[in-house]
Structure formats: C-alpha cells, structure tokens
Amino acid sequence: MYTTQMDAARQGIITPQMKIVAEKERMDAEEIRSLVAKGQVIIPCNKNHKALHPSGVGARLTTKINVNLGVSRDWKDVDMEYEKVRSAVEMGAEAIMDLSSYGDTRSFRRKLTADCPAMIGTVPIYDAVVYYHKPLAQITAEEWLDIVRMHAEDGVDFMTIHCGMNRATAARFKQNKRLMNIVSRGGSIMFAWMEMTGNENPFYEHYDEILDICREYDITMSLGDACRPGCLADATDTAQIEELITLGELTKRAWAKDVQVMIEGPGHMPMNQIAANMEIQKTLCHGAPFYVLGPLVTDVAPGYDHITSAIGGALAAASGAAFLCYVTPAEHLRLPNAADVKEGIIAAKIAAHAADIAKGIPHAADWDYKMSEARKRLDWEEMFRLSMDPEKARRYRAEAKPEKEDTCSMCGNFCAVKNTNRILDGEIVSIFDE
C-alpha cells in the first residue's frame, strides 16, 4: 500500500508509527501525517528494525538527541559498547549512531537493530574501508553502493551519506582556503578518494540508486556535511554554504522519491552566527529537519566540549534545529568512556530541554514547574526524582549533609525558601538561635 512514511503521509495514510509519534509528542496523528508529507518531520524506521520504538524528528516536535558509539581499532571492547548503548537508551537518547570501524561491524550492527528500541544510524563510508580490507583508492563506486545496501538490509534507520562533497564542492573547498580544512571523517575519506581516483563522488553520481535503496527499506537520508566548519574561523565560509546549496538540491530529489531527509550541520561556530545559520539551512533545504553536531561555540575548551556543545546546541535548537548530536568531555582528546558518555548525554538533554521551552513546545516547562514546586516545599526526595541526573543530585546532597534536614548546607539556617515559607505561614523566624 505504501513504501515509506512519507509516501504514506502523502497518500493521506496515518501509519502505526505516526500514531506512536503523535502519542509521544501529545499531538494529533493527522498533524504528524501532514508534517511528514511536507518533509518537515521525519520518522526514521527501517522496515527491518523490528525492535524500534519510533520517534519523530522535526518541526513542532521535542528536540531529540543522538549518541555516537562503536568499536574502533583502539577500542575493541564490544561488550562495553553494548553497555553504553543500554545506558544511553535508559538515559533517554532517542538515537544511537554506530560508528564502528573495526572488526565484525556487521554482527554489532545487527545486534543493535535486533535489540535496540532507539533509532539506529550509521555512516556506511567508515564501514566500507573496514569491510573491503583494501586501500581506499581501490574501492570501486559499486562497492561503496553495496555497503549502503548491506546497512539497509541490516535494519539501519538513518544513514549519513556525504553526497554533498562532489567535484564542484571539492573545487570550491580547494580555492577558498580554510584553517581546519575538512574535519568530517566521512567527508575527508570521500575527498581523498575523489582526489586519488579523479572520479566524481559515487554517492552523488549514483544518488538515484541510493534513493531507491532508501525507498525500499524506508531509510532516512542524513545528508552529511563534509565541509562543516571545524573551528570558529571557518564558520559560514564558502565551502560550508556551497555544500549546503547542494544538500538543498538533493533534498528535493529525495522527496521526489518519497525518501525522508534530514540535513547535518555545524560544527564549530560563534554564538552570533548560529541563529542565522539555522535560517539559511531552513531556506536552502526547504524546511527539512536540521541535525547539528554541536555547534561548539569556542575552540579552547578540550575536556569541556560537552559544555561548549550544549551552549551551541541549545541556541541552535531554540532557533529551529530538531536533532542534537551529543558531544562528550572526551571530544578532540580520546574515545569517550562510560562516564564521558553519561556527561555528554546529560549536557545534550539539558540543551534540548532548554530549547524546547524556548521553542514553546506545549508542556515542555511542566517538568520545571514541578521541580520548582518541590523546591518550594523543600521536598528533597521529589527533587531527586525530578532531576535530570537523580544519582548525582542525591550524591551531592549526601556529601555535605546540613544540620537541619529541611535545608541544605549552602545556606543552612539562612535558607531563604524555608524562612519565607515560615513567615508566610505566620511563624517567627529567628535564624541565629535555631
């Protein structure tokens, strides 16, 4: 009856996935259908991802977060990666990107789509290099496409494909010098392949074939930004905008085949450029949901890039971005461990939630209201329960117990909340001899 969610939406069909998304978002299913039909909302859901509990990404919906994981040559502990996946889902990540680049990537990927209720994304370019086990320049255009087909069969819901790094973008990139050149892993691989072989980007040249695969399995194209700025000095430069124009054209071609699309975005970017970038993307890419990798608002905080990213992510999402890729404190330094993953997720969740309040998402601020009520009552158990990270909140309070249980060690007897509650209840407030 229908191939993709977009196809169904355009035929006026409300799918089971749309109903689930509508319920999660507390919206009308018909409204979700209409947004999916216009490409403003995506529901990534490969037909072979049986464990999926679908989520929607896009306009008027809550901001979603993605967690990057996967084994690499320097980090081969598969069990630890599964454990990270489990805790990421438990902490509320709506998507997991498997960026594995070592060993039996297919088994890992298949286990993810067999067990994981979150959306699964991959970057087939990384996997091709591992899978074919041969020098990059020897991988053929057909082989690149075969990897996309393999990931499709394995149940991946969205794929980052760097189609925008074509010969024209590469020429612009070379003509207009940048400080950090290309910092996208997939983008750098594709650029290197094009330079060494003299060929056009196979994902761009054979884009229609890629779309046919996406249509068959209902895979969402995550149009990769090979030229995302990797430092403040490169933000909003010629290469970034040239690629974005191409991504806008590719969006229309995907929609013509009912393939769902999102656009990947910066990167590193000064705060004053973020809102304008969201507007440019929305215009050039016709309202397709924007998936931002940061943006990191300063380059000088290695060890704290979950914070630089959360600041940029909150601004980006408040200005229209729909999907935030988490960044951990280990960014630019090493692969994140379990503690880094947790900090990255919490930072991204704070950014997403803060943006949802600013966006005016209905009910987004209810959570904050409940927390404030609990604070006013000095109801510590309820405050822990409502915390973004209950374990940390509980641990911090336990580390410095107050003399009076109904205050905290910050102000003790001077507790403004307690004293005002008492005065308003007609009680005496003395402070010094209590």
In whole angstroms, give the CA distance from residue 259 to residue 39: 9
Q: At closest approach, how far in Å is the CB of 410 from ligand SF4?
A: 4
Residue 304 annotated as binding? no
Q: Which is nearer to ligand SF4, 31 or 382 (CB)?
A: 382
Residue 177 or 401 with smaller CB distance to ligand SF4: 401
- Tell me how far CA of residue 133 lies from CA of 7, 39, 103, 197, in angstroms: 38, 37, 10, 18
Q: Which stretch binds ligand SF4 (CB under 6 A): 134-142, 299-307, 334-342, 404-412?
A: 404-412
The annotation status of 225 as a binding-site residue, yes or no, is yes
Alpha carbon distances (Å) from 421 to 218, 383, 404, 418, 424: 56, 17, 15, 5, 5
Choose which of 300, 410, 424, 428 interacts with ligand SF4 (CB under 6 A).
Answer: 410
Give the residue, chosen from 1, 400, 416, 424, that forms a contact with ligand SF4 under the rule CB under 6 A.
416
Per the listing, tokens 């149940």 go with: 155
Tokens of 75: 């980090």
Piece of the chain touching ligand SF4 by CB under 6 A; list 119-127, 162-170, 338-346, 416-424? 416-424
Torsion region of 220: left, alpha or beta (phi above 0 gives left; psi -120 to 50 gives alpha):
beta
Shortest distance in whole angstroms from residue 397 CB to ligand SF4:
9
Site size for ligand SF4 (CB under 6 A):
8
264 known ligand binder: yes
Please answer whether residues 163 and 224 qualify as being in contact, where contact means their C-beta atoms are separated by less than 8 angstroms.
Answer: yes
Q: Name residue 121's amino acid.
A: G
Cβ-based nearer residue to ligand SF4, 90 or 399: 399
Q: Which of 114, 137, 256, 411 binds ligand SF4 (CB under 6 A)?
A: 411
- β-pairing, 57-58 with 41-42? antiparallel
Angle, helix 141-153 to helix 124-132, in steps of 10 degrees: 110
In the bound state with ligand SF4, the residue whose beta carbon lies nearer, of 112 and 415, is: 415
Q: Is 26 among the annotated ligand-binding positions? A: no
Cα angle vertex 112, ends 110, 118, to 5°? Answer: 140
Cβ neighbour number for residue 120 with a 10 Å cutoff: 26
Binding residue for ligand SF4, selected from 65, 85, 182, 408, defined by CB under 6 A: 408
Binding-site member from 24, 417, 421, 422 for ligand SF4 (CB under 6 A): 417
Contact between 339 and ligand SF4 by CB under 6 A: the answer reads: no
Helices 238-256 + 271-284 axis angle, to 10: 30
Cα(65)–Cα(388) distance, rounded to whole angstroms? 14
Residues making up the annotated binding site are 68, 97, 126, 162, 184-186, 225-228, 264, 268, 291, 332, 408, 411, 415
| Positions that interact with ligand SF4 (CB under 6 A) | 407-408, 410-411, 415-418
